Structures are given as structure tokens and as C-alpha cells.
Structure 1
Amino acid sequence: MELYGRKWTRRELEARVGRLEQIGGIKRVLGAEGAETGVELIQVRTGAGLSYIVSPTKGLDISLAEFGGSPISWQSPNGDAHPSAYDGEGSGWLRTASGGLLMTCGLSNVGSPSSLQGRTYGMHGRVHHLSASHVCAEGRWDEDHYTMNIRGQVDETSIFGSHLRMYREVRSRLGQNTIEIIDTLENAGYQSAPHMMLYHFNFGFPLLDERTVMQFPSERVNARDKGTPAEGYDIWESPENGYRERVYYHELPQGKDSVHAELYQPAFPVALGTVPLRVRLTWSSKTLPRLVQWKMAGEREHVLGIEPSNCGVEGIAAEQNKGTLTVLQPGGRVRYQLRLDLSSGTAEGSSDL
């Protein structure tokens, strides 16, 4: 593997440390204060600058993510609030949503609270507030490469209702500033089930400031709300009091499987100064054919959401009425795969840390 500017074998690295976690690896901790009491957190350190926290208590979503000791994600004022405080009615989701690098939205509803066929669905669905089972967090050598894997199962169920099951794997390698997310979603029930899925990636300061360059894989961009200016979606501003959220729909190019969005910060702060930092999110448009952008440049709520999805954000009834609602048949499966890459330095892929 490559680390600290040179290549190493497993034996060469292990000879220099008492245990590998001196360099990087996985560490499990438990929240012990306030709303975070009892929340399980798993910290992953790649040894190359990237570190992040996965929470099995909150659907194996990703909380704080950092590069070189500085955050790239936005944290909500709720913190990593325990799901026991979750209010699934209406927009109660907002009281316990953690922010962080990733909040998964779904599995049955995304966006606005909605109702369909006599059932009510709260904002953004339940999955961000469902605890995972069969959780495994392991680091292991494969010859001279060390891989860190977190795996688990999240079930969204209801008596007389649907049963959607998500198998999630989050993995990184020592020496690489990359996160891979592989989700397999299945209908484990015995009746057809609506399925909406949105990956709510949240980027924040200091990755975002007035110098940040944003690039999207869009052929056309449309504002969701009337009165929202179509221009300015790719420009970031300083915090503004009273800023009203802006939501944009990006039309992705046809015929392309892999697409990506990118953020570039020319002066990202690290311990001994600044480095240019490029953050690239890549996904398959075959399974996630839509891209939602949430621009919220307000005070405190100062966050950019880049959100690959299989749906819009008006809720399940609107999706049904448009004829675009995904329905999984019993035993049906769909696989989602996303990848986040960080690179620092003047050349893409180089690292100054």
C-alpha cells in the first residue's frame, strides 16, 4: 500500500507500530451525554487524512467526516440524536436528523410528508432513525492492503404493511481517502411495496466558502419552487440571515451509467496550512437516475445537499400521481453503489498530507 509518500508491505508497517490503530483503523464508541446517550458510533480512520463516523443506531448513516482534522460535512444542531426521540409525524424528522456526511432518506417515502392509500408517511421516511442489526465492523489484511468494512441490516417493517430490508456495506482502505457505500435493498415481504430512496449528502464549512467551485453532471437544471432563481445554483455565498432554502432538480445525461458531482476548495485548512481539496461523489444513474440539490446558505443552517435519488422530494403521493413511483415486487431487489473520493494537492489524486 501507499502511505506517507511511499509504498509499504504489511510487515514493514507492522514492525513500526504496537498496533495498527496507531496509524488508522476502526474504533467503536458509545454516546454518553444528552440526546446522544446510547448512540453507537464507529470511527474509521484511513491514515491518509480522511476520517468519518458511522452510526449503527441511525441506519448505518455517516455522521461527522473530516480531512486533515477539518470537517467536510455539516452537522445539524440536533447532534447524533438517539432515535428514541424521533417523531415520525409530519416534519418531526427535523428535530432528530443528525446532518453529517450522509442521511439516507426512504425507504418508502422521501421529501414532504404525504399519504397514500390510507397510510401516512412522515418527512423523508424512517430509515435514518432505524437501528441496524447484524452489525459487523472489521479491519483485515488482504496481502499488503488493509480494508475496513462496516456491514449491517436495516429493516423497515409494519404489521399489515410492507417489509423493506436494506443490507449496507461501508468500506475504506488504509492509505486511501475513499468511502464506498454499497446498499442492497429488497422487498422481504409478501406484497408489492413502494420504494423511494435518496442519499442526502451534506457538505459544509470549511469545504464550502465563497471560493468553492461546484460542478454537476447536469444537462439541464430546474428550480423546484416558483420564484426560486434558476441561476446561482453553482455559486456558494457567505451565511445570510433569513435565507430561504433552494431546491434544484438536475437532469442527468442519458446513456451514461456512472456520473459524478464535484466540489473543489482551493484553500482547505489542515493542521499546518491549507491545501487544494477536491471532493468527488460518483454513483450509477441506472439505479439513481435523479439528482436533487439542496442549497441552504443561511446562518447556522449553512449546508449544501447533493442528493442522488430514484425520486423527487414532493412525497409518495406526488410520485404516484406522476407515474414515477418505484414499486418492488415480493423478493425484488435493487443494488445501489456510491463512492466518495477526496484528493488534495495541485494534481488530482495527489496528497500533501
Structure 2
Amino acid sequence: MQLYGEKRSRREVEARVGQLGQIGGVRRMTLTEGKSAGVEIIEVRTGAGLAFEVTPSKGMDISLAQLWGVPLSWQSPNGDVHPGHYDADGTNWLRTASGGLLMTCGLSHAGSPSVDESGSYGLHGRAHHTPASLVSVREEWVDDERIWGVSGVVEETAMFGSKLRLTRELTGKLGDNRIVISDRVENVGFQPASHMMLYHFNFGYPLLGEHTEIVLPAADREVRESGAPAMDGISDMTDVLARAARWETPDASIAETVYYHQLRNEAIDADGMAQATIANPSFPTGGVLGPVSVTLRWSADTLPLLVQWRMPGAGEHVLGLEPANCRVEGRAAEQRYGGPFMLQPGESTTYKLELIVG
């Protein structure tokens, strides 16, 4: 195990602590106050500075994430609202969305509210507000590495409707600031089912600062039409990319912008993964400013589109990097682009994502 800059064996680590929780590990707890009352939190500390909160009550998503006690994620003004307060109509998702490092958008629908022949769908679908079942945690030694894991199952079903099951496992090891997310979505019904999936990663202050650089993958790029008012003065795609790759001070008057980055072949590595990186040369840890980067990697075959939500507003001061299998105009609009993606009865698809902090 690599720990605090030194290579240690299992017995060397155990000799130096009374209990491994002194260094890091997994801990379960329940929130008790206000609209968050009853929300379960699974806290993971890597022992290398990264700590984050998995929320089984909200789709096995990730709320607050910190590096050495300094936030990496953006938290919404709602907090970790219990899913019992969720209202699926229209854009009411915004009243109970937690922000945090990850909000899963799906499973039947992601993006703007829409209506098609199968029914009415609210903003970003139900996954983020669906409690998980079969939740489990594990910590175990594998040779000299201490492995941790958190898993659960999220089901989106309806009588006479689609029946989708998400099985999620988050894994990593002590001494390593890396989160691996392995997802499998299966159509457990007996009719074909539409499946839209978007991983809404949310980054905030102080990772986002005036000197932060956003390194995006090679892609064909466009700006979502509804974000056009925020693009005043931008004349070509070179300017679009320049704005997408930088950050700025909070501006209460600014409008959100959504970019689509359709991955090119050269963006995909030998493992079939694409990546984007947020780099801050002056991130504060321990009272000292120094370089920190956060790299998001994802399986490009099943998530061929990176949606970028740029919102350097006041309060809503957040950058969303969102690997997806769909756009965000909604289910009805997705048909114009040959979608939505369909899962046949008994068919499944898998997603792999990694978050690396260093």
C-alpha cells in the first residue's frame, strides 16, 4: 500500500494504528434534520485526502466530495433532500436535486421535460430520487492492498411500463484517490424500453477559480440552442472552445450554457476510455496553494457524448461534466437524433467511469 508517501505492507500499517478507521475506510450514517431527515450517507475516506459521501437514498449518487477537507464538488441550495419530497412534474426536479459530485440522470429519461406517445417525463428522470436496495459495503485486504466497495440496486419500474434495473458498484483502495464506478442497466421487463443515461458530475469552488483550466477531449463541438443568449460575441467554434476551457468569477447576471462534445476517435484510448480534466494551479490544502487536478474518465462506447454545463453564476457557480448516451433536449427531441437508445427484453448495457484526484 502506498500511504503518506511511503510504501507499507499490511502488517506495517496495522502496527501503526489501533483501528484502520484511523486512516480511512467506509462508514454508514443517517441524517436527522429538516428535509434531509432519513437520508442515508455512506462516507468513504481514502486515506490519501479524498473523502466523499455516497447516498443510497438518492440513487447511489455521490454528494459532498473533498480533498484534505476542501470541497471539490458543488452542492445545491437544496442539500441532501429526502426523496420523499421529490415532485416529478416539469422542472420540479430542481427543488430536490442535491448537486454533489454526481447526480444520475435517467433511467428512462434524461434532459428537459417532455411528452411523447409513452407518457410525460419530468426534468432529468427519476434515478437521482430513487432509493437503492440491496445496499452493501465491504472492506478487505487483498495481499497488501486494502480494498473498499459500496454497491446497490436502483429500479425504475411501472405497471404496463418500462422496467429498468441499475446495479452500481463504487470501488477503490486505501491510499489511492481514485473512484471507479461500474454500472449495469438491464431491461428486466418483457417489452423494449427506452434508456437515456447522463452522469451529471458537478464541480465547484475552490476547484473552480479564475486560473482553472478545463482540458476537454477531441470532439466535434456545438452549443445547445437554448444556451445561445449566453454566447453573445462568440463568432466561431474556436471562440466556443476557448470559453468552454476556462472559468471566471461569479456573475449574477450570466446565463447558463450547454455544450455538446461528440467524441472523435482520437479521444479514445486503448482501454476504450475518454477523459476530461479540471486543473487548478492554486488549490488550497493545509493553508498552502498548490496544483490539483481532477480527471474524469468514462467508457466511450456506451457514453459517446460529453455534455458540458457551464454556469459561473452567483450561488449557481458550477461546472457540469456529463458523459451521456443522449442529449438534454428531452425524450421527444431525442427522436430527431435517432434515439432514444433502446434496450430489448433481457438486454443490458454497461458503463464504467473513473474519477482520479491528484
Q: Secondary structure at the match of 1:196?
A: coil
Paired residue for 1:274?
289
Cα RMSD of the aligned pairs, angstroms, is 1.0
Return the offset for 1:116: 1.5
Return the offset for 1:118: 4.3
Tell me the amino acid that sits aligned with residue 104 of structure 2.
T
Tell me the amino acid that sits aligned with residue 307 of structure 1.
E
TM-score computed with the length of structure 1 as normaliser: 0.95
1:327 to 2:342 alignment: yes
1:234 to 2:234 alignment: no
Paired residue for 2:318?
303
1:189 to 2:200 alignment: no
Post-superposition CA distance 1:249-274 (Å, at most 9, x none): 11211263211000110011112312
Match runs of 1:41-56 below 5 Å: 41-56=41-56
Paired residue for 1:349?
none
1:174 to 2:174 alignment: yes
Return the offset for 1:219: 2.8
For structure 2, the 5+ residue unaligned runs are none
Return the offset for 1:298: 0.5
Paired residue for 1:245?
256
Match runs of 1:125-204 below 5 Å: 125-204=125-204
1:8 to 2:8 alignment: yes
Q: Distance in 1 between matches of 2:351 and 2:337?
A: 23
Post-superposition CA distance 1:196-237 (Å, at most 9, x none): 000000000000010001110033321112343452111101
1:336 to 2:351 alignment: yes
Q: Distance in 1 between matches of 2:314 and 2:211?
A: 18
For structure 1, the 5+ residue unaligned runs are 344-353
Deviates more, 1:190-199 or 1:251-260: 251-260
Name the one with the larger helix percent. Answer: 2
1:313 to 2:324 alignment: no
Q: Distance in 2 between matches of 1:118 and 1:336?
A: 26
Return the offset for 1:90: 0.4
Q: Distance in 1 between matches of 2:149 and 2:290?
A: 28
Post-superposition CA distance 1:147-182 (Å, at most 9, x none): 110011000011110100000001121000000000
Q: Distance in 1 between matches of 2:348 and 2:2?
A: 37
Tell me the amino acid that sits aligned with residue 337 of structure 1.
K
TM-score computed with the length of structure 2 as normaliser: 0.94
Q: How many residues align?
A: 343
Query: What percent of counterpart residues are identical?
Result: 52
Return the offset for 1:275: 2.0
